[in-house]
Homo-oligomer: A and B are copies of this chain.
Amino acid sequence: MPKESPPAVGVTLDRYDRQILDILQRHGRINNQELAERIGLSPSPCLRRVRALEDNGLITGYRALVDAKRLGHSLTALLHISMDRHTPERFANFEAKVAALPQVQECLLITGQEADYQLKVVVHDMDDYQNLLLNQITRIEGVTGAHSSFVLRRVLEHRPVPSYSDTPH
């Protein structure tokens, strides 16, 4: 089993790195010259730092955000799933099945609810949702319950993880 990401110890970020992370989390496709200008460094050290953050695994990737509604996915739902048994096999199988469904945007293993997983799914309409739920998800081995919430409005989404010591402790 792969080791989890190393402890945060050893990652020392200065003001420049934090600024880079903050800006790239908001403007992932900004070019290096402008990024350098914004943080107050010349382009070469700025690029070196970005590469280092990528190589360190602090930056794990880049994504374009798309308007799901415009793409025809009018309905977003949160699905809370309960499993019968909490064995690694059950979980691994469920996760593999769910990963094969393109409608699933997110899958989190959670505690604190009566559920084991929370899925976030996007579909065209309620018919598609019903189909996904009844014909795909509830048929996965071990699934004993599913509770649906629908997203009425996205108030905040894709907000940057604080890279400054916003949260002193």
Contact = CB atoms under 8 A, between A and B. Distances in A.
A5 B63 contact: no
A21 B161 contact: no
A60 B64 CA distance: 8
A149 interface: yes
A105 B61 contact: no
Contact of A152 (B62, B64, B111): B111
Nearest to A62: B28
Contact of A104 (B122, B124, B159): B159
A108 interface: yes
A150 B98 contact: no
A39 interface: no
A8 B59 CA distance: 33
A4 to B, nearest CB: 8
A3 interface: no
A157 interface: yes
Given A57-B67, A108-B154, 17 more contacts: A8-B69, A21-B66, A27-B61, A28-B28, A29-B29, A58-B67, A59-B65, A61-B65, A66-B160, A71-B161, A77-B112, A98-B156, A99-B155, A104-B156, A106-B159, A109-B154, A111-B150
